[in-house]
A = this chain, B = another copy of it.
Amino acid sequence: MARDESGFSHPDEGTLSLEAIFHALSDSYRLRIVRALAASAVPMNCGDLSFGRPKSSMSHHFRILRAAGVLHTTSQGVEHMNSLRRDMLDRRFPGLMAAILGETGQPAAGDHPRRLTPA
């Protein structure tokens, strides 16, 4: 978990908790942050992800997402750059982020989802 060079602490892959991740994703602003980051090819700073809310409020949301292991923050000059920890999440919970972001890759709606009882 150790604080990294930038002074932020990020959980190790081994200590990720699905519960904490779900809690992190159960807020609409945090979900918007995750979706924006997923759609971006490059890391984004906090200001670009503040959706017009006060800095202190958003700082709180970033902290929750960071502590859950959903995103990674690093300092670049005065800015704090954020990116999804997609590789780690995909290793630890394959399919989770894809499902959240709607990148199906799985049978789409209308197709034959796996079902216990035949249709």
Residues of B within 8 A of A91 (CB): 109-110, 113
* Smallest CB-CB A-B distances: 6 pairs: A94-B106, A90-B113, A95-B99, A96-B99, A23-B26, A22-B26
Main secondary structure of the interface of A (DSSP, over half): loop
From residue 12 to 38 of chain A, which have CB atoms closer than 8 A to chain B? 18-20, 22-23, 25-28, 31
Whether A59 sits at the interface, judged by CB under 8 Å, is: no
Chain A residues within 8 Å of chain B by Cβ, number: 35
From residue 75 to 107 of chain A, which have CB atoms closer than 8 A to chain B? 86-87, 90-96, 98-100, 102, 104-107
Whether A3 sits at the interface, judged by CB under 8 Å, is: no
